[in-house]
Chain A
Amino acid sequence: MSNLELNLSQFSPVMQSPLYHFGLAAKQEPMNEGKGVWANEIALLSYICLRGDSNNAAFTKAAKKVLGETLPTLPCSLIGTPWGNIYWFSPDEWLIVCPREKRAELQHALQSALVGVHSQVVDNSGGYTSVILRGKHADDVLQHCTVYDLHSLTENKVVGTTFGKSSMFLHRHNDGQNSAYVLIFRRSFADYIWRYLERAATPYGFGISTL
């Protein structure tokens, strides 16, 4: 971890995202033609892991009651809800990504709705972060970083796959005509993943885009 912002005296905000030490906020600029790849961290979202048996009506009903939508059961699918996106991770696992402000409410709502139902609700908000990847060479860069076949990555699909020697969850992000992607990965790997991304993007020109 080099390029550190060592001035710790003033702490605001008190929360630090996993990519905090790259000081991305200070470097960001509006996207332009000059660079082929643009990325930035969508910092400090909330990540709630929900586990349960999708064949268990009690579970799916309770989940739907809270989420307003039936949990996606189509493999590798994602849906948008008023809370935020719900990602299918496995037949008995979903990730719900919502704004921090909604975390407590959502978690509580789920837990109380699922009392007595075989399930698990876990707050993993400190454990993940998201990066948005854009630009005309976004596809190329991803091809340098993951073995996944991007052609198969249709809208409303999320896949867990490799990123260099670590892993991530990946989905497309509707962003006009240019293809844009969202990468979700674990905090402790963030430094590695960002460096890897920077390195992979160098030949195309790498910029930090305003969100």
Chain B
Amino acid sequence: MRINNKNSRVDLTKPLNFNFDGKSYIGYQGDTLASALLANGVKIMARSFKYGRPRGIVGAGAEEPNALVQIDVGAKTTPDLKATQVELYDGLVAQRTSGWPSLAFDLKSVGGRFSRFMPAGFYYKTFKWPANFWPLYESVIRRAAGYGKSPVVPDTETYDHQHHHADVLVVGGGANGLLAALLAGRSGVSVILLDEQSEMGGYLLSTPNATIGGKSAIEWRDGMLAELKSLPNVSLFTRTTAFGLHDMNMIQAVELLQDHLPHSARSQTQRRERMHRIRAAKVTLATGAFERPLVFGNNDVPGVMTASALATYFNRYGVACGKHALILTSNDSAYQAVADLAAGGVKVTLADVRNEINADWDARFKQLGIDIYAGFGISEVLGSTSVTGAQLVKLQANKHAASGAPLTIACDVIASSGGLSPTVHLFCHDGGRPTWSDESLAFVVSSNGRANAGIYCVGAVTGEFQLQKGLVKTVATMMELLLSLGKKVNDKGLHLETNEIATSPAHAIYRIPTTVKAFVDFQNDVAVTDIALAVRENFKSIEHIKRYTALGFGTDQGKLSNVNGFAIAAEFLGKTIPEVGTTTYRPAYTPVSFGALAGAHVADTFEPRRYSAMQVSHEKYQAEYETVGNWMRPWYFPKKNQDMHNEDIHAAVNRECLAARNGVAMLDASTLGKIDIQGKDVREFLNRVYANAWSQLAPGKCRYGLMLDEAGMVMDDGVTACITDTHFLMTTTTGGAAKVMNWLEKWHQTEWPELEVYMTSVTDHWTTAALVGPKSREVLAKLCSDIDLSKDAFKFMDWRDGTVAGVPARVCRISFSGELAYEINVDASYGNYVWQELLSAGAEFDITPYGTETMHVLRAEKGFIIVGQETDGSVTPLDLDMAWAVGMKKPYSFLGKRSLARSDTARSDRKQLVGLLTDDPTFVLKEGAQLINSTNITPPVHMLGHVTSSYYSAFLGRSIAMGFVIDGIKRRDNDNAIFAYANGKAVAVKIVSSVFVDAEGARHNV
């Protein structure tokens, strides 16, 4: 029921329409969905996970275990939000996330009647028979499980990250957080203060009648905020939750930027959420505490909540959750709520498990006409779908048993307080542990216990629940923090005395004895009896109890239930609570969207796409692309065929291949890694990092090199040019470039610093056009007059400097296709220009740009390997039949050499690379086909190796392939066929040399 409470933060002049579970309601600006629903008298908001019991709102914030709702529809729909954290906006549409067919009647509740047969872990003991029925059982279980629905269409809103570096981060904007931030701010250091809620103030917003320094709670907060806002070195963030604290005070915090706005007010150019990554020299945790309910019979009936929630709805939202409230407490923290409600016209009955009531309070209560039951507890709540009353029992001295007949109290809302549980989560994320305090009856963190890590704690989180004492300690703690930053604290004009009534000690009690189900963790239906069962079954570690009962497993992560669970476990284990300890607190403090975690790293900007300078032209030629490393490389260039469709890859590749073999074609080879290496020891350096020898290579010449890892396995390859005796230009594979660069640097820096070499990556500087084919010389000649291109002046494996199309170029006569070919390297700024010029110059010869697929076919026809396709990290040069590329006589034991001599690596009968031919020349083997001895494919079948490369060679008019075969080199060209297995079929193949075209190299020697 909505009451007119002058302190309420809700603006009754701004009504908002919203819809929950198909019904329309009205709430007000400042409401949460929870407060608005309560104001509208909605009691049932969910059905419980296991038993389908009706559930209502228990808390007022992040601790809410029951009221999980689905907000919005379509692309904006979001599952499992806590109604207590959803700010109301006009037009909000919410759905329940449990209860089928409806909240009023849930089918599970039928099964729920058999709850006695469904204790913790019952599913481990059953659903086992008959064995093959498990899939059926499972599908039933699955359909029963789960809360909200995942969206089914892509998210249309966006997210990003923002990195901050601050001297002091204060987490939590309650009284203590505000004070801490102000003190830090006044000292001049950079400060960030953030709070998860829509406005700063924390619990002050729930206790408007408290006064600080003579000001009302809200006035005091406003004063603090005003000064904080006036400080340029302080940044304030609301709706911002610190959800993870990581090593060295890296805090992840997510800011909700738009979800609280009506759709009409949301902007496409703004983010939905922003993740702040805050690296803070010092962190001050002012995260407060959650009130812990007491555990009693049927404590899950809608209308049972925590006393602080009751107070919060009443004071902050102007909502009375009932006309007659029964409040059960074991401590004084609920008293203010009792007084506020009574003063506000609610009939209040107070039950306190303690036998004496603090005298001052007693007087207050008497004035307010409150019935008080001292030494009483609630044994059982009455009512099924909502509270109608409760049974009170007189507790015996030990409080574990009741004496005398219960008396029945009629009421329509019940609230309880078992004390406060500090919000220690963040403190523990990076390995910290809370300690039990018998005085606070809570797991607390010390204000400076982790000062060495830069972590300080203030307020309720430290177990100091008195407002005034807390604030005073906050000043002391901040003094220490600022001192460590070489600053002084300045508390000028801060008056911290409050109007609190001194409190009397709380009583250590967590559950009231009862004969009916009493729930500890509402969301997972964990009852006291489940914890008892777990212990009985020897799940005695609190981690086992958690895992067996699912205590604290839910979306609230046990904010309300954990400590009660630990305490009740201790009782059954006959241990003290500190002996039992806590489970591990992990991120996220409250759930955070995948979108916020991903930030900008989605879609176009998920990961870099690297392009060469010729991309502009490739676009024009409508290339299809292949991803190689981070690069986007043209895979092939489909042409429109007669009926104006694009050619398929086979037509395109055949055309491109024939152009290269018979006319002229051109490949963008810019993506190859290029490393410029200089110094007097370059040759020695190359001798060490390459398998082959470099001492003799003359300036003006190029050589192919094989690079091995220390295990002797082929790691990369490429052609390296000798520019001068002290200057070489190395090329690497496209995918291996970065790896090789680091590899070279690492060996140089760590093992051979004495070698005089420097290396610099020039991959991006040079673009490379590979001009390939019998006509390539003629094309190049049209654009290049200052290099003598004649056969003998410019030999195979030579390089020359000159100009191409007027652009300074380094031309290498090397060939990965076996054809006459020139690789033309120019400054990338001219890359696209030169590429264009070559295309025009070649037009008369029908010059054909080609992609990686054709490059693969051409090199396969020549038996050249591709590192990463022929090799997989388990292949040596000898396996590749490339002993010619290994200089065994080099003085220095080059990288990988020794490994080649290991007993297994040196075996002569390893898998070796060979050529493969099918009998049927039109049949193209599957790359990845396995090679076997016979057509018998009934497993297990002994495998000889596999097909690494396989293509249709338009030039040869037949299919060709390469692959590994055990002892393959010996078996070349002997007639007994082996078989290639793929797609359930085995076809005969002959083992042949892997050079299919021009073994003697006549084609490129022209």
Contact = CB atoms under 8 A, between A and B. Distances in A.
Contact of B616 (A4, A92, A118, A140): A4
B766 interface: yes
A14 B758 CA distance: 32
A126 B600 contact: no
B775 to A, nearest CB: 23
A149 B836 CA distance: 44
Interface string B507-532: 00000000000000000000000000
A195 B764 contact: no
Given A16-B613, A120-B759, 13 more contacts: A6-B619, A15-B833, A44-B829, A93-B760, A118-B679, A125-B827, A127-B761, A186-B764, A187-B613, A187-B765, A188-B611, A191-B610, A203-B270
B763 interface: yes
Contacts of A15: 829-830, 833
Contacts of A127: 761-766, 828
B438 interface: no
A196 B631 CA distance: 17
Most B CB contacts (10 A, CB to CB) among A18, A52, A92, A140 go to A18
Contacts of B610: 188-189, 191-192
Interface of B: 158, 160-165, 190, 269-271, 277, 279, 600-601, 604-605, 607-613, 615-617, 619-620, 630-631, 671, 676, 678-680, 756, 758-767, 807, 826-833, 836
7 contacts: A8-B836, A16-B616, A120-B679, A128-B764, A187-B765, A189-B608, A199-B160
B162 A17 contact: no
A164 B600 contact: yes
Interface string A172-206: 00000000000000111101100110011011000
Given A51-B760, A127-B765, A146-B163, A122 B676 contact: yes
Contacts of A186: 764
A166 B608 contact: yes
A140 B279 contact: no
A122 B616 contact: no
Nearest to A126: B828
A123 interface: yes
Contacts of A1: 611, 615-616, 619
A49 B760 contact: yes
Contacts of B617: 8
A20 B615 CA distance: 11
Contacts of B279: 149
Contacts of A199: 158, 160, 600, 604-605
B678 A120 contact: yes
B611 A16 contact: no
Nearest to A152: B165
Contacts of B630: 188
B679 A124 contact: no
A119 interface: yes
Contacts of A147: 163, 277
A158 B59 CA distance: 51
Most B CB contacts (10 A, CB to CB) among A6, A165, A186, A187 go to A187
A191 B271 contact: no
Contacts of B600: 144, 164, 196, 199-200
Contacts of A17: 829
Most B CB contacts (10 A, CB to CB) among A119, A140, A192 go to A192
Most A CB contacts (10 A, CB to CB) among B190, B616, B761 go to B616
A149 B679 CA distance: 37
Given A4-B616, A14-B833, A196 B605 contact: yes
A16 B829 contact: yes
Given A118-B680, A192-B609, A11 B836 contact: yes
A11 B165 contact: no
Interface string A128-143: 1000000000001001
Given A127-B828, A188-B631, A164 B601 contact: yes
Contacts of B164: 143
A203 B608 contact: no
Contacts of A16: 613, 616, 829, 831-833
Nearest to A140: B162
Contacts of B609: 191-192
Nearest to A104: B808
A144 B161 contact: yes
A120 B697 CA distance: 21
Contact of A126 (B676, B679, B831): B831
Contacts of A27: none
A165 B613 contact: no
Contacts of A120: 676, 678-679, 758-760
B761 to A, nearest CB: 8
A151 B165 contact: yes
A187 B833 contact: no
A165 B615 contact: no
B827 A126 contact: yes
B893 to A, nearest CB: 25
Contacts of B828: 18, 126-127, 187
A166 to B, nearest CB: 5
A4 B604 contact: no
B616 A149 contact: no
A149 B163 CA distance: 8
Contact of B830 (A14, A146, A164, A165): A14
Contact of B763 (A93, A166, A188, A196): A188
A126 B613 contact: yes
A123 B612 CA distance: 18
A118 B271 CA distance: 52
A21 interface: yes
Nearest to A121: B678
A120 B619 CA distance: 37
Nearest to B825: A126
A4 B619 contact: yes
Contacts of A188: 610-612, 630-631, 671, 763-764
A89 B574 CA distance: 64
Nearest to B805: A14
A21 B836 CA distance: 15
A200 B274 CA distance: 11
A187 B830 CA distance: 13
Contacts of B758: 51-52, 92, 118-120
A200 B829 contact: no
A51 B760 CA distance: 9
B921 to A, nearest CB: 40
Contact of A203 (B165, B269, B615, B763): B269
Contacts of A51: 758, 760
B275 to A, nearest CB: 10
Nearest to A162: B163
A169 to B, nearest CB: 14
Contacts of B680: 118
Interface string A3-31: 01110100100111110110000000000
Interface in A148-169: 148-152, 164-166
A14 B619 CA distance: 18
Nearest to A128: B764
Contact of B756 (A118, A123, A203): A118
A49 B608 CA distance: 24
Nearest to A17: B829
A152 B828 CA distance: 34
Most B CB contacts (10 A, CB to CB) among A51, A52, A119 go to A51
B900 to A, nearest CB: 32
